[in-house]
């Protein structure tokens, strides 16, 4: 059970008050076993963690790991964190069976050769998750391992899961000759997946089987086929009906002779408009300064929305986005975007008080667009505040 509190976070000259869930503990993982670390492997920290805990990872290469409960796993800012085993340099992150009240967040982790146990396994596997998954600033790439069935796995596979959001991620299929990929980059099976400012490249960039795809910004590249393939049933992935895609301000690149989108068993919408974006520095220690950034068009008015909880994404087509924040929320007016279309504001990690090891906030931005008399929603973001001792 999370201890729920109302906690003040200083943002510029404003005091933002939002409900936040105190973590049970903050675990520090360091391959070298440096000062202040508690584990040398992420898998060990995951095994020891209680639901809701935070895991901070220092620079290093770590073994593959699996997650089945609420956790936040994040690389230290500036650290290169790679998942690969000691045997053949392959690795996979598996997220399985999250309950509707669970949530998993991952930030700043690279899995450059996805496979495990000599099988065709994506770099990231999300399966049977009813709770939300949020992945930020990560890199995933599949690898061919000579499986007797042939072929190579996707960079990421999401199966029977209600909400998986990827923000500023790169996802790649297995590379063929030159830069081209010979396996799909992202497979979506009976799931809802959202991409924000992601670059996805594969034989087809994304294949959706009986699921839903939303993308805002970024580029989807199909080296040998479609940028997006929508279908209802293919081998090893029985679909759950018609596939859907909604793509806002997305670059679509397909192979010669192929359309950008194959919609034989699906429907798609390409609404007009510019993708709006939100980013925040994380983690922050008590008293540490950082920034959050709002990117849109000149004249947009940015509103920050903050919560202590993350829920599965709810589509708002009229706002070209999804809502991810649990109620109650706090809204703060951040101001008009300048001529550059980018507004950057200082933030400050607060004092957590006695006994506070860390809290997690979840943030989205809403942009009021005066010229269109409408609102646009951005990607979600996680902000971890940790005790200064970590």
Which tens digits make up the pLDDT trace of 198-241?
A: 999 998 999 999 899 999 999 999 998 999 999 877 665 765 67
Question: Does the N-terminal peptide bond of residue 330 adopt cis geometry, omega within 30 degrees of 0?
Answer: no
Q: Which residue has the tokens 């409408």?
A: 374
Average pLDDT over residues 103-127: 81
The mean pLDDT of the chain is 87
* Closest residue by Cα to residue 269 from 259, 257, 261, 280: 261
Q: What percent of the chain is modeled with pLDDT above 70?
A: 86
Domains defined along the chain, listed by start: 3-269 (2.160.20), 280-386 (2.20.130)
pLDDT for position 9: 39
| Cα–Cα distances in angstroms (integers) from residue 131 to residues 31, 149, 378, in the given order | 30, 32, 20
Q: What is the pLDDT at residue 77?
A: 94
Distance CA 354, CA 241 (A): 52
Tell me: the pLDDT tens digits for 174-192?
Answer: 766 555 556 889 999 999 9
Instruction: Count CA atoms within 13 Å of residue 22 on its CB side.
Output: 16
- Choice between 150 and 366, residue whose per-residue pLDDT is larger: 366
């Amino acid at each position: 059970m999370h201890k729920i509190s109302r906690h003040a976070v200083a943002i510029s000259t404003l005091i933002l008050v939002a409900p936040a869930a105190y973590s049970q503990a903050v675990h520090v993982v360091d391959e070298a076993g440096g000062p202040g670390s508690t584990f040398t492997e992420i898998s060990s920290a995951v095994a020891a963690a209680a639901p809701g805990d935070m895991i901070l990872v220092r620079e290093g290469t770590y073994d593959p790991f699996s997650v089945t409960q609420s956790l936040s796993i994040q690389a230290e800012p500036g650290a290169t964190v790679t998942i690969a085993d000691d045997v053949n340099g392959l690795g996979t992150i598996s997220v399985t069976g999250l309950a509707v009240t669970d949530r998993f967040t991952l930030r700043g982790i690279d899995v450059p050769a996805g496979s495990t146990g000599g099988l065709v396994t994506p770099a990231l596997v999300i399966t049977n998750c009813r709770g939300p998954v949020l992945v930020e600033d990560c890199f995933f790439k599949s690898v061919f391992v000579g499986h007797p069935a042939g072929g190579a796995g996707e960079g990421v596979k999401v199966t029977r899961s209600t909400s998986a959001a990827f923000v500023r991620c790169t996802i790649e299929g297995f590379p063929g000759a030159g830069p081209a990929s010979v396996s799909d980059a992202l497979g979506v099976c009976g799931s809802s997946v959202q991409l924000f400012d992601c670059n996805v490249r594969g034989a087809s960039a994304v294949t959706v089987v009986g699921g839903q795809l939303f993308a805002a910004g970024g580029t989807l590249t199909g080296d040998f086929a479609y940028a997006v393939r929508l279908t209802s049933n293919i081998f090893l992935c029985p679909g759950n009906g018609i596939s859907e895609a909604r793509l806002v301000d997305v670059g679509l690149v397909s192979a010669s002779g192929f359309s950008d989108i194959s919609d034989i068993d699906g429907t798609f919408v390409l609404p007009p408009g510019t993708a709006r974006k939100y980013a925040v520095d994380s983690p922050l220690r008590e008293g540490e300064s950082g920034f959050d950034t709002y990117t849109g068009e000149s004249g947009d008015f940015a509103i920050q929305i903050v919560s202590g909880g993350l829920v599965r994404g709810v589509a708002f087509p009229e706002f070209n986005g999804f809502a991810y924040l649990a109620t109650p929320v706090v809204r703060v007016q951040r101001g008009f975007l300048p001529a550059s279309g980018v507004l950057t504001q200082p933030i400050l990690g607060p004092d957590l008080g006695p006994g506070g090891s860390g809290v997690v906030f979840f943030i989205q931005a809403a942009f009021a667009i005066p010229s269109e008399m409408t609102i646009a929603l951005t990607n979600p973001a996680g902000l971890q505040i940790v005790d200064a001792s970590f």
